[in-house]
Amino acid sequence: MSKFNRRDFIRWSAGITLASGSLGFPGLLLAATRKVVIVGGGVGGCTAAKYLRKLDPNVEVTLIETKKAYTSCFMSNEVLSGDRTLESLTFDYEGLKRHGVNIVIDRVTAIDPAKKSVATESGETFAYDACVVSPGVDFKWDAIEGYNAEVSETIPHAWFAGPQTQTLRNQIESMPEGGKVIIVAPPNPYKCPPGPYERAAQIAMYCKHHKPKAKILILDPKDRFSKQGLFRQGWSKLYGFGTENSMIEWVGAAGGGTVEAIDPSTRTLQAEIEEFQADVINIIPPQKAGKVAFASDLVEGDWCPVDKLTFESTRHPDVYVLGDASSAAKMPKSAYAANSQAKVAAAAIVARFNGQSPGEPTFVNTCYSILGEEHGISVAAVYTLNRESNTILPIKGAGGLSPMDASEAQRKREVSYAHSWFKNVIDDMMG
């Protein structure tokens, strides 16, 4: 035992935890090449791909994604203030290729859980031992009368970062001084709970300098929203919220904020109590799991139920659903949540391949919102699994919101940490 020092222990324990047996001890386990097919190249899919390869380099990982490059939704509200370009949010998949992930640009039509294969639009099929599905959200287009995919080209949702984000930015830039913007917020649950409210602040940030008489109205089918106290405080401080001359106004459900229909030709919204007209309208429709989840029989209601120990679908074995599409209460539908879930799933898949039971999962969510050049706020939670109820619960006494009484210096630091959070999430998922 004398020769087995601390360094050896570190090396051996690292070998065991990282390679899960099959790499470090080829004689003990017969390791056939296992195949994982990943559907969707967003936060969940990319993180799973990278961590599967990291945890067990013997696993063959193929990631199928429709677009050649990834454009992140998180931080895309900064395009609306002009603080950031879409290009700065766009990343290729070369990093994942360097980790040995096969990248296939194609559209998955459906997963066949019986045959354990994935079919694509171009007619290819991919066999899998485990399939990871992380398709993100899709819209319920029938929820607001008169609003559909075609109308969204001119009255953008901008809820997937891309051309519509730019359209919305351009419309805000070209609206008249004293113009009016309406944001139609979605009902729960939806991806990025603070997103609509950060969006209002980012638009106000631009208008404050360029169109100081502009108004931004949020019509909301909810009576409460994420980080509400901090948003109201930040809006008050920066944009006069709550005063006669407030740049930002919020109408919740009780005030008639639920929008029922739109007339795109006059840009008029029919809400529960009255009509609203605006120069620029941004409708964020109600949401459900992405198309491929429905096509592959992974959905109950709007979302995909999973065993939260592993994120394996409770409807079909060997299929794991991550991120926004999964039903992962009480985690929010956020980038950090998807990143965290992907690591739990990757470790569970590798454990299974090596004949081990999954480890105890742990999850974190952190989420920043930037309300002004020097005003950032955040929410954080660390979660543990309650196996009996299959519920992911935040650990009591930990996590929570930025304090209401934080100093200006602290709020400014949070902006800088928000940008760190963005860069590190991107790097952790695909760098």
* Contacts to other proteins by CB under 8 A: 1, 3-4, 8-10, 12-14, 16-18, 21, 25, 50-51, 335-336, 339-340, 343-344, 347, 356-357, 359-364, 366, 378, 380, 382, 387, 395, 397-400, 402, 406, 409-410, 413-414, 416-417, 419-421, 423-425, 427-428, 431
CB of 381 to other proteins, least distance (A): 8
SS3 content of the chain, % helix, strand, coil (to 5): 30, 25, 40
CB of 62 to other proteins, least distance (A): 21
Give 247 or 335: the residue with its C-beta nearer to other proteins: 335
Give 172 or 350: the residue with its C-beta nearer to other proteins: 350
CA-closest candidate to residue 129, choices 62, 201, 209: 62
CB of 276 to other proteins, least distance (A): 37
Give 43 or 217: the residue with its C-beta nearer to other proteins: 43
Give 42 or 113: the residue with its C-beta nearer to other proteins: 42
Query: How many C-alpha atoms does 322 have within 13 Å on its Cβ side?
Result: 34
End-to-end CA distance of the chain: 40
Helix (H, G, I), strand (E, B) or coil at 243: coil
Stretch (H or E) spanning 230: helix 228-239
Helix (H, G, I), strand (E, B) or coil at 125: strand
Give 46 or 293: the residue with its C-beta nearer to other proteins: 46
Give 64 or 381: the residue with its C-beta nearer to other proteins: 381
Helix (H, G, I), strand (E, B) or coil at 111: strand
CA distances from 350 to 281, 346, 384 (A): 46, 6, 21
CA-closest candidate to residue 187, choices 120, 107, 300, 272: 272
Residues 377 and 232: beta-carbon distance below 8 Å: no
CB of 293 to other proteins, least distance (A): 24
Map tokens 């901090």 to a residue.
230
Residues 278 and 176: beta-carbon distance below 8 Å: no
CB of 390 to other proteins, least distance (A): 15
Give 50 or 288: the residue with its C-beta nearer to other proteins: 50
